[in-house]
Structure 1
Amino acid sequence: MRTANPVTGHLAGPTRARYSLKATCVSALLLATQAHADLVADSHMSLETRNFYMNRDYRDAGLSDGPRHDGKPQSKAEDWAQGFILRGNSGFTEGTVGVGLDVLGLVGVKLDSGGGSSGTGVLQRNQRTGEPVDEYSFLAPTAKLKVAKTLVTLGNHEPVMPVLFRNDTRLLPQTYQGGQVVSTDIQNLSLTAGQFRQAHQRDSSDYEDMRMAADGSTGGVPTDRFNYAGATYALQPNLSATFYRAELKDNYSQNAASLLYKSALTESVNFKADLRYFGSDNEGHTNVDNRYLGGMFTVSSRGHSLGLGYQNQRGDTGLPYLSVADPWALNNGTYQPFVRAREDSWQLRYDYDFAPMGLPGLTLMTRYMRGNDFEIRGVAAKEWERNTDIAYVIQSGPLRNLSLRWRNVTYRGSATTDVDENRLIVAYTFKFW
């Protein structure tokens, strides 16, 4: 069993991880109590338990983009695991400058998996053998400082921004280490800026350098600098504009702009328009060159929502983004993001909330996405994906707020590995205070 790193606090041993996690959270709260009562009075602590099963069937095992194990094509990937996500958030000390501390603790436990069938991204694996580990864990603090309506954070972050949208579609969330400033001191304006130095992946116990993902790109290198700054301004109560500038050192620079408009067409019918643009260029020795333009238009009424989306890409490469993170693309599917070089794609999406039918807590989402006008290894290609989510949150009784979700994915493409996939997720959050 490895011991905890005294600098980063990353834990590799399961037993030590549990005791260290508990001791760190208790110590943080004790220090907070000694500093000022408001730290505790405004604090929160919760534990999310996430039981996650995933089965991915590779229909064309053996193609160049398909997974392999021991040099042989892998026909399926299957993992079942239990995750624990502990969040401790303190309040702030009183005074002009308020100080606080947040703690994130993650533990993943294997329930069923194997070297020949793992690789879903649910469990951490031995890099040499591909065997999934029995347990893995991660612990990260975040120091915070507040002046008026400006918040400065240093440590671990879970960014949700146009230029970096962390991935939380597996057992445990992806996070980033660095510093960030968010200010809402000016009315109707939100300002954000920061730098991330390393990434913690969803199936890892440690930090690592960041990497670029971009279809058709060359020259990308690992880096420890991701710089960003952005602003969101409410032009009207129902109309907001956002602009971000970001750079992944020695890989790419990117401008992101968006408009979000919401309106009530009648007493029971609502309309939403989401417009997004990315302009991405090369940095260092890469060939990144992408212009992305997309729009999603949704009409909703009495539990029903129907949306139509389209995105167009130009340039020598696909939309660049940080590896494993989710690109902030409108047609970003559960399996494929539809951001290949020069790919055009569209989406038809339907959502339904069963509450008007007397079934509160039950929801349905289904969507179909199709892309074309791109090439794979110099040959014209196309692809499509269908996603269906059925979720239910128990509304009453001893299991109240227990969440159950079934996620189904079908993907088909030209000269790519076809996939059928199912995920079953059972989650419950204990709120201690």
Structure 2
Amino acid sequence: MLKTPIARGVALATLGATLAIPSMAQAAFIEDTKAGLELRNFYFNRDFREDATQSKQEEWAQGFLLRVESGYTEGTIGFGVDAIGLLGVKLDSGGGRYSNGTQLLPGDGDTAADDFSEVGMTAKAKMSETVLKIGTMQFKNPAVANSDSRLLPALMQGANLVSKEIDGLTLDIGYANRNNQRASSDNQVMTMTTGTGSNPRGIRMTGGAVNESDDFRFAGATYQFSKSLSGSYYYSNLEDLYKQNAFNLIHVLPISEGQSLKTDLRYQRSKDDGSSNVDNKAFGAMVTYSISGHSFGLGYQKMSGDTGFAYLGGNVDPYLVNFIQVNDFANADEKSWQARYDYNFAAMGIPGLTFMTRYVSGDNFDRVTGADAGTEGKEWERNTDIAYTFQTGALKNLNVKWRNASSRNNYLDSANIDENRLIVSYTIPLL
């Protein structure tokens, strides 16, 4: 991991890669290069309603995200290089408000770092409609999706091969051996999400094994059966910890002009890989009716098997319909329902303004600690998002988003929270 200043590090790394390519083949490499600098200002406030140890978490930070994507050299096999430079700067923290739980800034548990940075490089090669990338990765598929919901994104070290040689078919194969969390400058061995000691997910290690792995692999395929129907299958394996089969079917039914009905079905089967007790079947369904800027959604998610849902730890988003701002509703045997409403104000002449609100309620899982152990666990969460992107004038493309969440449960006091996030972002195109 390079810890030089962000701009100098990315510039030198990209220049070095460019010089390594024969000058006669650099034309397309340089002409097709894209670069942008995103400025992301993030305020995070979490109020603990019943936790006696800490009343709140509160931080404010400024992020700088420099992304460079080169073109490819000429020839049957084209070569290129991508680079990402990240810098996070503390604006306000401390005074009993800091906690790694915000995941905006790294620290020692009491004090947040003043700043943190990193530079990542990715070599790439392209032949026809097949692309191979090796280096710093930001995956996004049903097997693994690195989170980008804080100041800086989570990253991984590995490789990814994506092929679209057959019309309508996308093949996706990947590997990772290290994880870089969103509030960290260090690459670390990977872990599996097991929940806290009071969380009834029920996942544990067996035979004295440690929850660590340096080998994650996945392979998947997505096929567009028709304009309105697509399906995917992914197999993934976090060595020694779990293996998983994931199926997804998405259908969009056009009803009339401006009206549609979208159905999203998901099923995942997870089992242990020798050093854990993972045994889970996860079913999810989301149906969304859209008309004239309005969208009305209903979702259902059900866990079955001996444990809750298993997925990569370290700021990876699980592919679950009821994974939302705070919770994933994936405890052992849990059943959860979601009601969601979206509105795009472009329908009434205000482009750039959007609104979303949803409510998820889960139950049917066992509480595992205290005098009430063995009784039914329950939880709910409510989210509201309002976002606006300026369309004209000096502030054009400036995005402002407010995210609010309230979460309550009857098994873990520290998860009873009210939360607000205010994110202001602007991307400056450099090339």
Pick one of 241, 248, 264 that aligns with 1:251.
241
State the partner residue of 1:212. 192
Structure 2: distance between partners of 1:84 and 1:217: 37
Deviations 1:182-231 (A, max 9, x none): 10001111001121110110000011011001321111521110010000
| Correspondence 1:225 to 2:206 | no
State the AA in 1 paired with 2:204. Answer: T
Paired residues for 1:297-376 under 5 Å: 297-323=287-313, 324-376=315-367
Report deviation, 1:121.
Answer: 3.3
Q: Secondary structure at the match of 2:256?
A: coil
* Distance change in 2, residues 1:140/1:380 (3 Å): same
Range with greater deviation from structure 2 (394-403 or 208-217): 208-217
Structure 1: distance between partners of 2:241 and 2:145: 18
State the partner residue of 2:428. 430
State the AA in 1 paired with 2:10. Answer: L
Report deviation, 1:75.
Answer: 1.3
The percent of aligned pairs where both chains have the same amino acid is 44
* Distance change in 2, residues 1:302/1:32 (3 Å): farther
1:191–1:231: 8 Å Cα contact kept in structure 2? yes
Deviations 1:302-331 (A, max 9, x none): 100000000111011111111121111001
| Correspondence 1:111 to 2:111 | no
State the partner residue of 2:371. none
2:13–2:121: 8 Å Cα contact kept in structure 1? no
Deviations 1:247-274 (A, max 9, x none): 0011000000010001211122111000
State the partner residue of 2:261. 271
State the partner residue of 1:123. 104
Structure 1: distance between partners of 2:76 and 2:33: 19
Q: Secondary structure at the match of 1:212?
A: coil
1:148–1:185: 8 Å Cα contact kept in structure 2? yes
State the partner residue of 2:123. 143
| Correspondence 1:282 to 2:268 | no
Structure 2: distance between partners of 1:19 and 1:156: 18
Pick one of 160, 164, 169 that aligns with 2:144.
164
TM-score with structure 1 setting the length: 0.92
* Distance change in 2, residues 1:21/1:93 (3 Å): closer
Structure 2: distance between partners of 1:105 and 1:295: 37
Deviations 1:367-411 (A, max 9, x none): 000000011213311000000000000010011000000000000
1:123–1:132: 8 Å Cα contact kept in structure 2? no
Pick one of 399, 403, 406 that aligns with 1:407.
403
State the AA in 1 paired with 2:32. Answer: D
2:37–2:427: 8 Å Cα contact kept in structure 1? yes
State the AA in 2 paired with 1:371. Answer: G
State the AA in 2 paired with 1:330. Answer: V
State the partner residue of 1:4. none
Structure 2: distance between partners of 1:168 and 1:228: 21
Structure 1: distance between partners of 2:123 and 2:8: 21
Report deviation, 1:346.
Answer: 0.7
State the AA in 2 paired with 1:86. Answer: L
Report deviation, 1:136.
Answer: 0.1
State the partner residue of 1:3. none
Range with greater deviation from structure 2 (205-214 or 115-124): 115-124
Report deviation, 1:21.
Answer: 3.4
TM-score with structure 2 setting the length: 0.92
State the partner residue of 2:32. 42
State the AA in 2 paired with 1:410. Answer: S
Structure 2: distance between partners of 1:304 and 1:33: 53
Q: Secondary structure at the match of 1:261?
A: strand
State the partner residue of 1:68. none
Structure 2: distance between partners of 1:183 and 1:158: 17
| Correspondence 1:84 to 2:64 | yes
Structure 2: distance between partners of 1:319 and 1:171: 27
State the AA in 1 paired with 2:224. Answer: A
Structure 1: distance between partners of 2:273 and 2:20: 44
Structure 1: distance between partners of 2:353 and 2:187: 38
Deviations 1:64-99 (A, max 9, x none): xxxxxxxxx111111100001100000001111000
Structure 2: distance between partners of 1:265 and 1:303: 15
2:7–2:85: 8 Å Cα contact kept in structure 1? no
State the partner residue of 2:197. none
Q: Secondary structure at the match of 1:39?
A: helix
Deviations 1:18-44 (A, max 9, x none): 533343344445656934110011110
Report deviation, 1:123.
Answer: 3.2
Structure 2: distance between partners of 1:124 and 1:307: 34
2:362–2:379: 8 Å Cα contact kept in structure 1? yes
Paired positions, count: 411
| Correspondence 1:398 to 2:378 | no
Report deviation, 1:415.
Answer: 2.2
Deviations 1:81-118 (A, max 9, x none): 00011000000011110000000110000000016212
State the AA in 2 paired with 1:108. Answer: G
1:151–1:181: 8 Å Cα contact kept in structure 2? yes
Report deviation, 1:125.
Answer: 2.8
Report deviation, 1:17.
Answer: 4.3
1:309–1:330: 8 Å Cα contact kept in structure 2? yes
